[in-house]
Amino acid sequence: MTAPILSIRNLTVDIPTRHGTLRPVDNVSYDIAAGEILGVVGESGAGKSMAGNAVIGLLNPPAHIASGEIHLNGTRIDHLAGDTMRRLRGKEIGMVFQDPLTSLNPLLRIGDQLTETMLAHLDISQSEARKRAVAALDEVGIPGAAERVDSYPHEFSGGMRQRVVIALALCAEPSLIIADEPTTALDVSVQAQIIALLKRLCRERGTAVMLITHDMGVIAEACDRVAVMYAGKLAELGPVRDVLTAPLHPYTDGLMGSTPLASRGKDRLHQIPGAMPRLDALPQGCAFHPRCPRAAEQCRADPAPRIEDGAGRAACFFPIDRVEVA
Amino acid sequence: MALVSIRNLTRIFDVSKPWLNRVLERRPRALLTAVSDVSFEIEEKTVYALVGESGSGKSTIGKMLVGLLGPSEGSVDIRGVDLAREKDAAKVDAVRADIQMIFQDPFASLNPRWRVRDIIAEPVAARGGDTNGLAEKLLEQVGLSARDAGKFPHEFSGGQRQRICIARALASEPKLIVCDEPTSALDVSVQAQVLNLMSDLKDEFGLTYLFISHDLTVVQHMADRIGVLYLGRLVEEATPAELFDDPKHPYTQMLLAAAPKLDGFGREVTPPTGEIPDPINPPPGCAYNPRCPLAQAICREERPALRAVGGARVACHMVE
């Protein structure tokens, strides 16, 4: 296997508060290879967006990286100064956020926003940048790109705006894209268009994609591997088919069971009792044990084993036994 | 007789600019048809689901059903009483007490300055009923503790707040609850808890739900009958089994194909083309014709009527 594009090692994010330090991301490690889509899934407060923000250096103070390393293309980037990081962001890392309207400047034509980004990061002329802006809009599937390049964001529909944001993220040809809930605000049919677009671009350009979402269906269709997060820690990490069809961690299993599925008909949904603990009141031992059907004495006393330390696919003392699927 | 019968319901919003602008800029009035000629019935003790993308008019129908909006044309009859036109105030009042609503955002739909006890008892207190111990009893029925009655909404998580909203909706012992995207703001494990609770309460109290959602899997799980809306028009109506196994309308087929599937590993969907048209200037004929792979000349000229096909009702010229 070639060296990964993004490599996160033992990343910990802390938020100091008056009532003690919160740890939204706790000792997390994962890699993303070129051309790979890694899904990061979890419920609200699991730390999935916080990990993404740490990679692009956009943590809101007082949140900060307390320990760990982030490597992009073999270079360490977590300790870079503000302006070095700014040059990297946009150039090497593209970002797509949930709400396309707030990621675009409403007062600038989209063509100007695209050329501005390209001129800042690439050594090209104004006319060349404009040519590339039209090509970028064309590539993300905006009809009549040559005319629409001079439109303002409000003249586009939600789905079209998200395409513009993706064009913006891609225009400096980054090696990594972080997409944080890119389709949550969109309708089903538009969501399918955006997911297909992300997959195609990733395949054609060999871009690594970190797809943060809470939608298991999107994960299943788009991703190669999936990282399940719970209360700031990795619960399970593995190839998407294995994790979703034969989850080893009881949390992943519960999550899959509570998703309404066509094949289950109208039976009661499996429900995980309780809710995710608050960061200031994390239980002793494994953070999931109060809700876990398999919890034993050891789970209440000791922190769960870490995937990174060789615990296998699931960070659990008692993973669900599965007959090996050939 | 059906509990709710909706006939030829239409709602038009005037979204024109102010009069002076229209005169100076020589602009015509702009009328947005949010709901157009929709008819369906909800049987007692069943769950009728309305599903559609944004702008399809599903919430507008819900609001007209509870009386938050009046219909432009057509009627909503609940137990034979037309809420918008009935003159007898006592009759209207009796029906009104039988309808409650649960909203999408449990953060916006609870008054932050009221204690949970007052929030839950309000529908009964407003009619001068006996509220003694009511909130405590309801809180336990929705899976919270009676002690929570003295707390304020900010002390609860999203899922717990939605349970409070459900308790409030149950307080006046309604027959019909309109649920407008009740679980869209919730995480999937909490969504499962709330959906299970809603199913249990339905059986326990003999409730009827109008369930409004954009999430096909949730609708499939909850509904006894599903109506698919597109641009304010009912394009297909069927039972979940029929709709998901054999969708007849091309729009329903597209919607089902586009929805992400949990077992769709590496599935390459041909993404649907186009977007929902502008409801101020809907296309002539069938609203779906610009995106429809089956569209013929007649689809661009004549609006298809909703007609029975097997056990379903479909509005499409091309379906046999």
Q: Which residues contact B259 (CB under 8 A, 6 or more apart)?
A: A188, A192, A217, B216, B217
Percent of chain A with pLDDT over 90: 22
Residue B131 resides in a domain: no
pLDDT of A326 over the 50 cut: no
The reply to whether B280 touches chain A by the CB within 8 Å rule is no
Asked if the model's pLDDT at residue B116 lies above 50, the reply is yes
pLDDT average, residue stretch B8-36: 89
Taking residues A271-300, what's their average pLDDT? 86
Q: Which CATH number belongs to the domain containing residue B62 in this structure?
A: 3.40.50.300
**Total domains in the fold of chain B:** 1
State the nearest Cα–Cα gap between B193 and chain A, in angstroms.
6
How far apart, in whole angstroms, are the C-alpha atoms of residue A172 and residue A175? Answer: 9
CA atoms of B90 and B94, how far apart (whole Å): 6
DSSP A123: -
Q: Which residue, among B157, B160, B189, would best test binding to A if mutated, counting the most A CBs under 10 Å from its CB?
A: B189
- In chain B, residues with a C-beta closer than 8 Å to the C-beta of A191 are 258, 260
Convert the pLDDT of each residue in B171-191 to its tens digit: 988 999 999 988 887 888 888
ipTM over 0.85? The verdict is no
Nearest to A113 by CA among A144, A85, A88, A148: A148
Whether residue B73 lies inside any domain: the answer is yes
Minimal CA–CA distance to B78: which of B2, B135, B162, B155?
B2
Of the candidates B189, B244, B266, which has its C-beta nearest A255's C-beta?
B189
Q: Which residues pair with B179 in a beta bridge?
A: B102, B211
Q: Is the CB of B54 inside 8 Å of chain A's CB atoms?
A: yes
**pTM, rounded to two decimals:** 0.85
**Using an 8 Å Cβ cutoff, are B221 and A260 in contact?**
yes
Identify whether B300 is part of a domain.
Answer: yes
- Counted across chains A and B, CB pairs separated by less than 8 A come out at 123
Q: Which of B54, B265, B292 to mutate to test the interface with A (most CBs of A within 10 A)?
A: B265
Q: Which of A218, A240, A271 sits opposite B265 (nearest CB)?
A: A240
Of A161, A156, A19, give the one whose Cα is nearest residue A97. Answer: A161
Site from A269, A270, A278, A288 to mutate, B interface, most B CB atoms within 10 angstroms:
A269
| Nearest-10 crossing angle of helices A158-170, A110-121 | 20
Looking at residue A325, its pLDDT comes to: 44
Q: How far apart are CA A172 and CA B265, in angstroms?
A: 30
Q: What pLDDT is attached to residue A311?
A: 64
| Cα of A225 to nearest chain B Cα, Å | 11
Question: Over 50: is that where the pLDDT of B61 sits?
Answer: yes
pLDDT tens by residue, A221-236? 899 999 999 988 999 9
* Beta bridge mates, A209: A37, A177
Structural domain includes residue B20: yes
| Tokens linked to B242 | 């029929």
Q: What is the domain extent for residue B203?
A: 4-98+174-261+271-314
